[in-house]
Amino acid sequence: MTNKRIAVIGGGVSGLTSIKCCLEGGLEPVCFERTDDIGGLWRFQDNPEEGRASIYKSVIINTSKEMMCFSDYPIPDHFPNFMHNSQVLEYVRMYAKEFDLLKYIRFKTTVCSVKKRPDFSTSGQWEVVTESEGKKEMNVFDGVMVCIGHHTDAHLPLESFPGIKTFKGQYFHSRDYKNPEAFTGKRVIVIGIGNSGGDLAVEISHTAKQVFLSTRRGAWILNRVGDNGYPFDVLFSTRLNYFLRKICGESIQNKFMENKMNRKFNHELYGLKPKHRALSQHPTLNDDLPNRIISGFVKVKGNVKEFTETAAIFEDGSRENDIDAVIFATGYTFDFPFLEDSVRVVKNKISLYKMVFPPNLEKPTLAIIGLLQPLGAIFPISELQGRWVTQVFKGLKTLPSQSEMITDITKAKEKMEKRYVESQRHTIQADYIDAMEELADLVGVRPNLLSLAFTDPKLALQLLVGPCTPIQYRLQGPGKWDGARKAILTTDDRIRKPLMTRVVESSNSMTSTITMGMFMVAIALFAIIITYF
């Protein structure tokens, strides 16, 4: 029997891991990439390409290497914990080379349409029309994995800013920003305080005369550098914290996080405090923003009410004159026009079972990979999605009935709407551990802590109190990796390696005391969790 042929659309991170998942599952992938290279979002270019995500030259990833690696391919220990985009791309190329993925990619090939075959209700097959060098071609596939991300189409709401069309200065979306040199000596407004808006305000403030950071709601600011200098996500995303958050509830979580962030700097004093709670908006990560504010190079302002030819008038009545440039860091929209009626997107809202499968198809042979915005890393979530999807494509896993899937989708949407402030930005949110654990259950690779507590207590303790790294989902079940245990137990070594570039005398007695104390607390909490969960 011939292997099922799977069309993988997109050669970025999600596309590459989907190719690998297909190969591991005994499927035959064919990947279509519209450009001439892999990397997607992480391949910086001076000039933005149509239909492709675009980043600025200085971008540093917001998730640390231990939390964002593929589950059976740790990032080299000498790489920094938070990598520059060029290092992320280097890792992606290493991954593609290690698993020999490039030979399955057809470069410079655009997908024009994906349509059901006439016998779809029985075959589940798709007719995929592609175009390369002016020539169109149609191929039949048994399944389709769409891996094009959601940072391609700029959301530029000019209608919300009266007067912008007559503004004499420069204005554009942050997608088109590349470096700060062009703003030397200028007065610049950055609209939006997401991660891009914060980054651009900080970077431009090093060359501009003055930067104004305009925000409708304000934001809570997280740091990459957490307690004791460890990456914040390594400390935040642990199973122990996950269990405690479930016990304590959202209100206590919010209070704890807000107090912690305000100890770094008072958000009200800096004009950043929002009306919403910490967990009601996708967080903004920026270690440098408070420094630029306190030194006066960045001034936080409210929402812009209107523009004149040379000035901006804000909703509080204040006015800033002689503005030279306005940058809209206002996010992105996404759509899948080549899927026609198979998937509908309205204002960034989409109905997908577990954020992957359209519920309305007679056969589950179409999947969307990586279409979510987690409070954490996307790489490993896309990978787990790919592992689940290939099992479904092979018939090893089945989906619930259409009505059950729609009910699940509705509940997930209601939960999201209840938690987050209303925004096009908050339609595909996900919590990292929740998403990983749910997908791991579906794949059959979620670690069994209770069993490990008796057979491998050292590993079980690390899984409980240590970071919930992607490698944990290679310990057992389909796709088990023999190197997983060792890689998990040496996580701290890889975190410390790039930091310890100078030999210093360590305080062993203090370290031993702290370690023993943490160990005893962990044992006690572990016993409680095993008893009650």
What is the Cα gyration radius of the chain?
24
Cβ-based neighbour number of residue 237 at 10 Å? 25
Nearest-angstrom CA–CA distance, 337 and 51: 12
> Which structure tokens are listed for 36?
């001439």
Nearest-angstrom CA–CA distance, 37 and 16: 12
pLDDT at residue number 345 = 86
> Which structure tokens are listed for 306?
């209107």
pLDDT at residue number 510 = 43
Nearest-angstrom CA–CA distance, 267 and 231: 22
pLDDT at residue number 95 = 98
Question: What's the whole-model pTM score?
Answer: 0.93
Pick from 339, 343, 369, 345: nearest CA to 358: 343
Nearest-angstrom CA–CA distance, 216 and 218: 6
Phi-psi region of 517 (alpha: psi -120 to 50; beta: other; left: phi over 0): alpha
pLDDT at residue number 522 = 57
pLDDT at residue number 373 = 85
Nearest-angstrom CA–CA distance, 74 and 115: 38
Q: Please give the sequence-ordered ranges of beta strands (E in DSSP) within 33-152, or none if there are none.
A: 105-106, 110-116, 126-132, 135-141, 143-146
Nearest-angstrom CA–CA distance, 291 and 453: 45
Cβ-based neighbour number of residue 221 at 10 Å? 21
In single-letter form, the type of residue at position 484 comes to A
Nearest-angstrom CA–CA distance, 35 and 51: 9
Pick from 532, 135, 510, 174: nearest CA to 326: 174
pLDDT at residue number 526 = 55
CA distances from 216 to 149, 257, 426, 454 (A): 26, 21, 15, 52
What is the chain's length?
533
> Which structure tokens are listed for 337?
């026009």
In single-letter form, the type of residue at position 204 comes to I
Low-confidence spans in the chain with pLDDT less than 50:
509-511, 513-514, 528, 531-533
Nearest-angstrom CA–CA distance, 369 and 8: 10
Contact 301, 314 (CB under 8 A): yes
Pick from 319, 367, 363, 362: nearest CA to 343: 367
Q: Which residues lie closer than 8 Å to 433 by C-beta, 6 or more apart?
A: 237, 239, 242, 376, 468
